[in-house]
Homo-oligomer: A and B are copies of this chain.
Amino acid sequence: MVPRQTATVRIELDLSDDPADYVFRHPVRVRFAETDAMGVVHHSAYVPFLEEARVEWLRALGHPYSELRDEGIELAVLELVVQYRRSARFEDVVVVHTRVSRFRGATFQIDYLLTVDGEVAALGATVHGVVDAAGRATRAPAWFKQLMTGPS
């Protein structure tokens, strides 16, 4: 008997809700366009918040995303998880805290803690694949891995 095929999800869900466990923070002011008819931020609107935070993180580290592209590297999103804890509202400032929790040769995971006024609004993680211009999986450049994981 062949077992039913199921998805192998790479995300490891040990998401810390302690800001001290994260190394970068980026504030995002909620747009009215991001709210929904329940009066709160629509759950899909958080996904671009995560993206904005990781892009700003690279810029803050001195290596904007365009540098990766100049090396022929793209970072594809392979997996996404978000756990919603407390609704955010129009004009709230959502602080997105980020860290790299795993880095293998061609994939890495970023964890996110989202807070509003110091309260946990959401937790999340994305797994990224390093791909070349043709979309093939490739090893991350050494400088990039070092940048994201810090000296060790």
CA distance A37 to B66 in the complex (A): 13
Cβ–Cβ contact B81 & A80, under 8 A: yes
Q: Are A32 and B36 neighbours in the complex by a CB distance under 8 Å?
A: yes
Q: Number of A residues contacting the other chain (C-beta, 8 Å)?
A: 51
**Interface contact A83-B39, CB-CB below 8 Å:** no
Please, which residue of chain B has its CB at the minimum distance from the CB of A7?
B15
From residue 16 to 40 of chain A, which have CB atoms closer than 8 A to chain B?
16-18, 21, 29, 31-40
B83 touches A82 (CB 8 A): no
Write the nearest CB–CB distance from A1 to chain B, whole angstroms: 15
The 7 A-B residue pairs whose C-beta atoms are closest, nearest first, are A44-B47, A35-B37, A33-B48, A7-B15, A43-B77, A9-B13, A81-B81
